[in-house]
């Protein structure tokens, strides 16, 4: 399969290449795409060198699939050009997520909604992805009424500039600032810009995307998203109120059996999920599973996942894997 990676030189694009390699996705030809200033640069994939090309050149080469991680404005302008050429796009930006004509997909939750006609498929927000992977089996069994989530998000979610800021501050070096404040030894209760209702865009993404992915507008979600000075993954404290009561042992069994979930919940031995342990892994880790004793049918848990992998690159590749397995892209569709 001929695969274009748009934004191939960025933090997520680089991770996409790594995940494609690790998961042995059937790439017969790679077409790395980036901004004009990166055209001509070389990247290595599976031991071979590939030159970065422009969007126009990539489309001329007629890839079967284009994985996008190049920002919202780029996706709005360029994803339709690929789609019009019959190329299936999996887009990691926020550009298409809430478009009612586009699917918003987490494979463990709603891959079965995809068809060969879906030419632009949206990859959800990183913090939403890891949460819904854990919510899905519980919603199926007990029906979720309301979710209260507070996030503790890695600087890698902002990009290379934020990682540099953290380490510059740690080393006493002055440099460009990705955030309006110091991030080292600090916590910033703002991710993305504020909207009119006092929530940030990141918080609204979690609220709206959860309903769309789960296919249930009755689920109430409220979120507070926070940037913390860590690498390796996002963490979430999640309080879930169900319509029906649950048994804690059964909750653990359901989560342990769910695709993409690893339960790390042994407080007697101080075992619980942490970003350090989730780093460079594809699973969603769930622990601190306990009943909320202040109200009926309510559960507390702690969810951690690598935001560059499951929260971005891996989820996009898993969507592509599903499309390939179901013969929904490439020459299989034409045949």
Positions marked active-site: 126, 234
Our CA dihedral for 154, 155, 158, 164, rounded to 10 degrees, sits at -160
Any known ligand binding at 11? yes
Spatial separation of the C-alpha atoms in residues 268 and 270, rounded to whole Å? 6
Any known ligand binding at 153? yes
Sequence-separated contacts (24+) of 112-120 with Cβ below 8 Å: 114/319, 114/322, 114/323, 114/326, 114/328, 115/328, 116/327, 116/328, 116/329, 116/333, 118/88, 118/328, 119/82, 119/83, 119/86, 119/87, 119/88, 119/89, 120/79, 120/80, 120/83, 120/89, 120/91, 120/96
Any known ligand binding at 287? no
Spatial separation of the C-alpha atoms in residues 87 and 74, rounded to whole Å? 16
Any known ligand binding at 74? no
Q: Output the DSSP codes for 228-285.
A: -S--S-EEEEEEEEESS---HHHHHHHHHHSTTEEE--BGGGTB---HHHHTT--SEE
What are the tokens at 80?
């339709």
Place of tokens 């913090």: 127
Any known ligand binding at 205? no
Antiparallel, parallel or unpaired: β 220-224 and 261-263: unpaired
Spatial separation of the C-alpha atoms in residues 137 and 256, rounded to whole Å? 10
Query: Is residue 269 a contact partner of residue 287, using CB atoms and an 8 Å limit?
Result: no
Any known ligand binding at 146? no
CA angle in degrees (0–180, nearest 5) for 161-70-324: 130
Query: Is residue 248 a contact partner of residue 290, using CB atoms and an 8 Å limit?
Result: yes
Any known ligand binding at 15? no
Any known ligand binding at 97? yes
Any known ligand binding at 38? yes
The binding site for phosphate comprises 97
The binding site comprises 9-12, 37-38, 97, 153, 176, 227, 307
The binding site for substrate comprises 153, 227
């Amino acid at each position: 399969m001929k695969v274009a990676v748009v934004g191939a030189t960025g933090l997520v694009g680089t991770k996409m290449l790594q995940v494609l390699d690790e998961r042995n996705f059937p790439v017969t030809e790679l077409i790395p795409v980036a901004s004009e200033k990166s055209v001509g640069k070389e990247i290595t994939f599976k031991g071979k060198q590939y030159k970065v090309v422009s969007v126009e050149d990539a489309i001329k080469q007629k890839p079967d699939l284009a994985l996008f991680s190049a920002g919202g404005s780029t996706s709005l302008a360029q994803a339709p050009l690929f789609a019009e050429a019959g190329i299936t796009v999996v887009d990691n930006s926020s550009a298409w997520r809430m478009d009612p004509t586009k699917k918003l997909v987490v494979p463990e939750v709603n891959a079965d909604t995809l068809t060969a006609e879906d030419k632009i498929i949206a990859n959800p927000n990183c913090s939403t992805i890891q949460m819904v992977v854990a919510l899905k089996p519980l919603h199926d069994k007990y029906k979720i009424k309301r979710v209260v989530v507070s996030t503790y998000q890695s600087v890698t979610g902002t990009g290379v500039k934020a990682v540099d800021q953290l380490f510059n501050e740690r080393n006493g070096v002055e440099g460009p600032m990705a955030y309006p404040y110091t991030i080292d030894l600090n916590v910033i209760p703002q991710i993305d810009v504020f909207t009119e209702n006092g929530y940030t865009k990141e918080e609204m993404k979690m609220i709206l995307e959860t309903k769309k992915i789960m296919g249930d507008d009755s689920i109430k979600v409220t979120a507070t998203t926070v940037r913390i000075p860590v690498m390796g993954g996002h963490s979430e404290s999640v309080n879930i109120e169900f319509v029906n009561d649950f048994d804690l042992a059964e909750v653990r069994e359901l989560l342990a059996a769910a695709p993409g979930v690893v339960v790390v919940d042994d407080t007697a031995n101080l075992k619980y999920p942490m970003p350090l342990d989730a780093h460079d892994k594809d699973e969603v880790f769930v622990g601190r599973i306990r009943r909320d004793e202040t109200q009926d049918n309510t559960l507390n848990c702690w969810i951690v996942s690598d935001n560059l992998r499951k929260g971005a690159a891996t989820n996009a590749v898993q969507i592509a894997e599903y499309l390939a397995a179901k013969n929904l892209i490439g020459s299989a569709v034409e045949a």
